[in-house]
Amino acid sequence: MMKQVLLALAAGVLFGAGLALSGMADPAKVRGFLDIFGAWNPTLAFVMAGAMLPMGIAWRIQARLRAPLAAAGFNLPDTSRLDARLIGGAVLFGIGWGVAGLCPGPAIADLALAPRGAAIFVLAMLAGMALLKIITSRKGREPVGKYAK
């Protein structure tokens, strides 16, 4: 258990440092990337392109492993189905990302860098997660995913 916590902490610190160093914790940069008909800022595109090589390597390594370093097995999606719930969630995520210039990872990192704006976002995100749990439990449908409960 302690190994998992330390690995998660190390991954979070590495991710947060990457966000801070790349400037992607700055909502103005993200909104600049999304402003394709105005003062477009391509920085995020370079960050995404730069992430493709290490991710490709990670997928190749994962395919050869029986289990991850800190768990009994991999927790990979068991479906590739595109349904209304997935598409609606993606649209809602995109709208929130475009309006706020933040998504969950940078918002958590921004709690240390720009706490006032990030706290509002994080509270709204947590409220949305709670609302999903309420709605799905009323419909007798459990939220999807490992961390749903």
Per-residue pLDDT tens digits of the chain, which is 149 residues long: 788 889 889 988 888 888 888 888 888 888 888 888 988 999 888 888 988 999 999 999 988 998 887 788 888 777 788 888 889 889 988 888 888 888 888 888 888 888 888 899 999 989 988 998 888 887 766 555 554 54
Helices 104-113 + 27-34 axis angle, to 10: 140
- The SS3 call for residue 38 is coil
Q: Tell me whether residue 144 is in a domain.
A: no
- The number of domains in the chain is 1
Q: Tell me whether residue 15 is in a domain.
A: yes
Give me the count of residues in the chain: 149
- Looking at residue 127, what is its pLDDT? 93
- The SS3 call for residue 145 is coil
Q: Tell me whether residue 143 is in a domain.
A: no
Amino acid, res. 142: E
Residue with tokens 């189905």: 81
CB atoms within 10 A of CB 64: 6
- Looking at residue 143, what is its pLDDT? 57
The parent domain of residue 29 ranges over 2-138
pTM of structure: 0.66
- Looking at residue 145, what is its pLDDT? 55
Whether 101 contacts 31, CB under 8 Å: yes
- Looking at residue 132, what is its pLDDT? 85
